[in-house]
Structure 1
Amino acid sequence: MMASTFLKLKNLSRDGALRCRKWNRQYSKSSYAAAASESEKMEEEEAPSSGISRPLSEILKELNKKVPDSLVKTRLEKDGFPVRYIPWHLVNRILNLHAPEWSGEVRNISYSADAKSVSVVYRVTLYGTDAEIFRESTGTASVDDTSYGDPVQKAEAMAFRRACARLGLGLHLYHEDAS
């Protein structure tokens, strides 16, 4: 019984690897715009995980490209100041496209001494054929702000996006006002 289960898993793994290679060939040269147009199709399909496929320098080169304006959202802060950002779920899809073996983890969650805000530290790790790299960042949200899920979710999404920006993804959004 156990041997047949093992063989089934082995065959599934081999089939999955073939689908992953096919998926990588099809999408490895895709632009962010193509990723956005394919996102609806991909929601229904299983997103494959391909093994480590490229050197880290190539992955970082792709992540450092400017994200199309069609993927960027704008929200108004309480003071009326507009903030441009890439929603966390699109950042996640872009990472899946260009760095399929990335990983992310919440490293710390802490509340301020007065319990009015929560901060999250998030780490994103990229794996290439030649190296791996990680970046951490923080996000902080007011406990009273429930405009986007709960405050911990908001702080986590912010920390995730910022950690990805430290790897180059969407970094251009932080420098738009400087030009």
Structure 2
Amino acid sequence: MPALILASTSPYRRELLARLRLPFEAAASQVDETALPGEAPAALAERLALAKARAVAAQRPGAVVIGSDQVADLDGETIGKPGTHEVATAQLRRMSGREVIFQTAVAVVAPGLAAIERAEVRVRFRELSDAAIEAYLKADRPYDCAGSAKVESLGIALLDAVVSDDPTALIGLPLIRTCALLRRAGLEPLA
């Protein structure tokens, strides 16, 4: 079986991929994640997922490499990882009472294969008071999450609804699509 590599150091993606019970290693891709001028959020997620997989695959010929990226999309504007408490506060204020689309792309690069899939998750944030935002940020500290919300923990309390055909996509790695791409690369999680 070829080596399986996750082109990410994200603990969230590592935890998700571990659910498939395939042995894998994780490697940083060192890809510049800056959006191109005028680049739409979905296009950015797809470009970065493929670039991450290709960067690691170039270092590990013969391996099956998974790259993934997630971008929050608010009315066509990219909402990235906040990095700081102040930016997270501003993001959550903007998203309060609104629908945000989380664009999550996954790519698999292997010998003879470079394929990509995208999952779209529609998230409706409830109306959020400044006190609720502050309490959430102090509790969860989601500064490394696109859109400032960890739905796998307390961030679920920020939401009214989540709509998706791939529930793990919102956490950062759409496993249904990942499984389909891995099968195309010759790896069957159920084998």
TM-score range, shorter chain: 0.3 to 0.5
Per chain length, whose mean CA-contact separation is higher, i.e. which structure has more relative contact order (CA < 8 Å, sep 6+)?
Answer: 2
Larger Rg: 1
